[in-house]
Structures are given as C-alpha cells and as structure tokens.
C-alpha cells in the first residue's frame, strides 16, 4: 500500500512484529461502516461516480458477509484490518476500490473504528451490568429481612440486613453504568476527516459522514483527533473500577462462604472441588473475578504508559492500544455474565446470619444512643458503654445480661430493651439506613428504575 518509495519488501520478521490483524480483525464491521460513509461523501463531492460508489458499497457489504461467515482469509502481510479490507475490495472491484482511500489515512480510520467499537461495547457492557444488578436485586429481595453483622476493619460493627448489603453493589454498578454513559458522550465524536494529522486538501462533508455513523459531531482539531486515546483510557478506567467493585463483592462472598462465616452457599454449578480434599467446595468464580481484576487494572496501566511519552500525533506505539482494550472488554463481559449467573443462585444461611448478628456487642452503639436520649453527652455515654463492654469481657457475661444499673445510674430499667435485634434494626429508618422498611422501598425503587 506504500511501496512507491521502497525497493525492498518488508522483512517477514518485521511483518510478524508489526501486524495487528491477528487482533484488530474484530474492528471489521466498523471499518466497513466507516468506509461506506466515507465513500458516500466522496460521491457527494463528485470524486466517485454513482456507479463507482455502488460498486464500493456492494463490495464492502459482500466482504462483511464473507468475514461474518468465516470465508475471508486475513493476511499478515497486509498488516491490519484496514489494509486487508481495502486490498480485497480492490482485488474484487478493481479501479473504484483504489479511489476509496482518497482524503483518508489509516490514522483517522483506526481512530474512527476504535470509537465505533467502544461505543458498541459500552452499550453491551451497560446492559450486562444491568443484568447483574437485577440478579443482586432478586437476592436482596429474597433476603431483605435477613440480619447479618455489618463490618468495619472486618470486625463486627452493627447489625444490617443482607438486602442492604447486596443493594450496596447495585449502587456501585449504577455509578459504573453512568460512567459508561459519560464516557460514551465524550467518545462519540467523529475523527474521520482528520487525515494523517492535518486533514486533507480534499474537503469531504465531515458532518454528513459523522451523522451517517451515528456520531454526535466532528472533532475540532485534527492533530488531537489523531493522537488522542483518551476515550480508550477512560473506558479502561471505567472497566477497571467496575472490576474493582466486583472484586470486593467476590471478597465478601469468599468470606461469607467460609466455614468461619457460614453465611452463604453457592451452587455446585458455580464452585469447584479439590482433587485431593474431598470435602472442599471452592468459590473459584469469586477468586477468578478478584484475580482477573488485576488484569483489568494492568490493561489500564499498559495504555497510559504506552501513551505518556508520545509526541503528537500518530506514533506506531498507538497500535498497542487495542490488545489491552479488547482484553478488558472480553474479560469484563465474562466477569459480568458469570457473576450474574452465580449471584442469581446464591443462597444465604439465614439462621447462621442471624445467630452471628445476635451478638449483643453489636448493639453497644445503640446502648450509647440510649444514654444520649437520656441526656448523657455522647462522649460520656461512649465511655460508660465501653466500661460495660470491658466488664462483660472480664466477667465473661453477655453484654445484655449485665446489671447495667449497677454500673451507672444513667441506665434505666428500659436499658435492656436496647438489645432487641429486630427493634434495633427497625429503628434504622433514616434515608440510606438498613431497616427492612427502607430496604423494601429501595428494592421497589430499583425495580422501577431497572425494569424499564
Ligand atoms: N494498525 C494501525 C494501528 O492500529 C493502523 C494505523 C497505522 N498508521 C500508520 N501510520 N502506520 O494503529
């Protein structure tokens, strides 16, 4: 495609080193859509006859069908998806094919294809995230009233409902989705027409091309448009963050499934056994989600480091943007699908959850609040309850069995009522708090929002 000034063929080792067709082939539907829009603008500009345009369009559509059917041989010697398609088009239709690359460079072409690809993937990922939200919502509904301990520092803190805990992840996924939407807005601008770096002396209607491709507008600086990989970096960040959220969910589930916690059990279909220890049931999906999140974060770093030292505009380094992009997208799709299935079938052991949450120590804060309501300043109340806790530990007595009135006369005879677990939860009704009442109305809100 550039042989004019060269006397020797590219070494086969360099071909192997420089090819991207082994992975960028998947841009083909976008490359073809971009080429058809570009050709149409050439026709409007009088650079192609109607007949030439029709040949190009027909040829490209046939190539697309052949690729989809697996009847297309990609050639490493043609380096990338752009040249593979263009060379095949010209082989099939002759002279008209050779006109297609007028007023275009692979630099604006690859930037365009990648944005179109990201846009499609963003929509699919958002859909998959909503699917996982629905699975979490379903479990949150089933276990809306199941009491579990809430933790800070992985030390039991205060009782919460399992529904509340699960809905926390629905919130995170909602923010991940909104980040995708935001990222989509910024990337849905057409770079096509930026040429190699400085546009072209042949003016095609960039806005018409952009509109045909579903872009919201055209980029306003050709050098920026060629050199920019922001949208990929941003998408890789959003993907990483979603991975981090699901990695935390995984960690919760790994703990919950341990004998030490005993809160949850995963289906046999979503766990594995040990080849040596017959009793084992391992939460591999959770562990792999946690492990693969490392890859997602690594892919983001990979791209940022690749771009950081590059002068404007295109440098071949930028070809290295796609392996991390494709890997992150594939990996997150898999993570979302498998977690949706696994969460949907997850069961909680409600008695164990409740028994663990029934430790009266978890209501020490409520006891301090009780004293506050009797007029004791909080810092003083905290200290008084701290003394009661120490006394309970020293005398190996449950906190709710202590003679509190003997410790301080601020405690009335109603102090014991504080230790009713259900009452304690029911009183957490402020917006965002974990009462069953709140969780139930949150579930209704999420259902309305997600099942639209
Ligand atoms: N395969 C290349 C990439 O992915 C396409 C752009 C090539 N441009 C160039 N000037 N060599 O970046």
Contact by Cβ (8 Å): 345, 267 = yes
Q: Using CA atoms of 58, 62, 67, 71 in order, give the dihedral in degrees to the nearest 10.
A: -150
Span(s) in the chain for CATH 1.10.40.30 = 359-419
Radius of gyration of the chain (CA): 30
Q: Whose CA is nearest to atom 3 of ligand 1?
A: 319
In angstroms, the CA 358 to CA 147 distance is 9
Residue tagged active-site, from 22, 178, 267, 274: 274
The CATH T-level fold of domain 359-419 is: Ribonucleotide Reductase Protein R1; domain 1 (1.10.40)
What's the pLDDT score for residue 451? 84
* SS3 (DSSP) at 213: coil
CATH classification of 13-102, choosing from 3.40.50.300, 1.10.230.10, 1.20.58.100, 1.10.275.10? 1.10.275.10
What's the pLDDT score for residue 277? 87
What's the pLDDT score for residue 445? 97
In short, whether 106's Cβ falls inside 6 Å of ligand 1 is yes
274 catalytically annotated: yes
153 catalytically annotated: yes
**Domain 107-355: CATH class, spelled out:** mainly alpha
In short, whether 84's Cβ falls inside 6 Å of ligand 1 is no
Q: Whose CA is nearest to atom 4 of ligand 1?
A: 319
In short, whether 117's Cβ falls inside 6 Å of ligand 1 is no
What's the pLDDT score for residue 4? 80
Contact by Cβ (8 Å): 289, 244 = no
In short, whether 110's Cβ falls inside 6 Å of ligand 1 is yes
Centroid of ligand 1 to alpha carbon of 83 (angstroms): 10
In short, whether 250's Cβ falls inside 6 Å of ligand 1 is no
Centroid of ligand 1 to alpha carbon of 215 (angstroms): 22
What's the pLDDT score for residue 236? 98
In angstroms, the CA 161 to CA 409 distance is 33
The distance of Cα 449 from the centroid of its chain, to the nearest Å, equals: 19
The distance of Cα 340 from the centroid of its chain, to the nearest Å, equals: 13
* Residue that has been written with the tokens 């593979």 in this structure: 84
pLDDT tens for the chain, 452 residues long, are: 667 888 899 999 999 999 999 999 999 999 999 999 999 999 999 999 999 999 999 999 999 999 999 999 999 999 999 999 999 999 999 999 999 999 999 999 999 999 999 999 999 999 999 999 999 999 999 999 999 999 999 999 999 999 999 999 999 999 999 999 999 999 999 999 999 999 999 999 999 999 999 999 999 999 999 999 999 999 999 999 999 999 999 999 999 999 999 999 999 999 999 888 888 899 999 999 999 999 999 999 999 999 999 999 999 999 999 999 999 999 999 999 999 999 999 999 999 999 999 999 999 999 999 999 999 999 999 999 999 999 999 999 999 999 999 999 999 999 999 999 999 999 999 999 999 999 999 999 999 999 86
Report which secondary-structure segment, H or E, holds 149: strand 147-152
Span(s) in the chain for CATH 1.20.200.10 = 107-355
Helix, strand counts (H, E) of the chain: 18, 4
The residue length of the chain stands at: 452
| Phi (first) and psi of residue 218, to 5 degrees | -120, 150
Hey, which of 31, 316, 317, 320 would you mutate to test ligand 1's pocket, going by the most ligand atoms within 8 Å of its Cβ? 316
């Amino acid at each position: 495609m550039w042989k004019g000034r060269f006397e020797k063929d590219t070494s086969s080792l360099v071909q192997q080193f420089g090819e991207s067709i082994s992975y960028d082939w998947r841009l083909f539907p976008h490359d073809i859509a971009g080429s058809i829009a570009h050709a149409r603008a050439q026709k409007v500009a009088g650079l192609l006859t109607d007949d030439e345009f029709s040949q190009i369009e027909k040829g490209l559509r046939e190539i697309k069908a052949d690729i989809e059917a697996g009847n297309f041989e990609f050639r490493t010697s043609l380096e990338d998806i752009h040249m593979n398609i263009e060379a095949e088009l010209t082989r099939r239709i002759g002279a008209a094919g050779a006109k297609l690359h007028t007023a275009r460079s692979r630099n604006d072409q690859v930037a365009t294809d990648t944005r179109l690809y990201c846009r499609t993937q963003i929509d699919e990922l958002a859909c998959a995230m909503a699917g996982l939200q629905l699975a979490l919502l379903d479990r949150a509904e089933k276990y809306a009233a199941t009491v579990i301990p809430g933790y800070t520092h992985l030390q039991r803190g205060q009782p919460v409902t399992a529904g509340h805990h699960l809905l926390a992840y629905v919130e995170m996924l909602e923010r991940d989705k909104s980040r995708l939407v935001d990222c989509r807005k910024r990337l849905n601008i057409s770079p096509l027409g930026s040429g190699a770096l400085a546009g072209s002396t042949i003016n095609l209607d960039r806005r018409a091309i952009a509109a045909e491709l579903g872009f919201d507008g055209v980029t306003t600086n050709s050098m920026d448009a060629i050199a920019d990989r922001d949208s990929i970096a941003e998408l890789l960040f959003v993907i990483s963050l979603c991975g981090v959220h699901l990695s935390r969910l995984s960690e919760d589930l790994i703990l919950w499934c341990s004998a030490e916690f005993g809160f949850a059990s995963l289906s046999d279909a979503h766990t594995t056994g040990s080849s040596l220890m017959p009793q084992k049931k391992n939460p591999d999906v959770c562990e792999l989600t946690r492990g693969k999140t490392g890859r997602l974060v690594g892919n983001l770093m990979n791209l940022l480091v690749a771009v950081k030292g590059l002068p404007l505009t295109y440098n071949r380094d930028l070809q290295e943007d796609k392996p991390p992009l494709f890997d992150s997208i594939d990996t997150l799709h898999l993570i979302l699908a498998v977690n949706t299935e696994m969460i949907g079938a997850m069961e909680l052991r409600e008695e164990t959850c409740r028994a663990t949450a029934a430790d009266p120590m978890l209501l020490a804060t409520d006891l301090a609040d009780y004293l506050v309501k009797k007029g004791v300043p909080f810092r003083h109340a905290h200290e008084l309850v701290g003394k009661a806790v120490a006394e309970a530990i020293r005398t190996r007595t449950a906190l709710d069995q202590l003679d509190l009135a003997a410790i301080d006369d601020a405690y009335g005879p109603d102090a014991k009522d504080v230790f009713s677990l259900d009452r304690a939860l029911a009183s957490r009704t402020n917006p965002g708090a974990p009462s069953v009442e709140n969780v139930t109305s949150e579930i209704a809100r999420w259902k309305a929002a997600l099942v639209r």
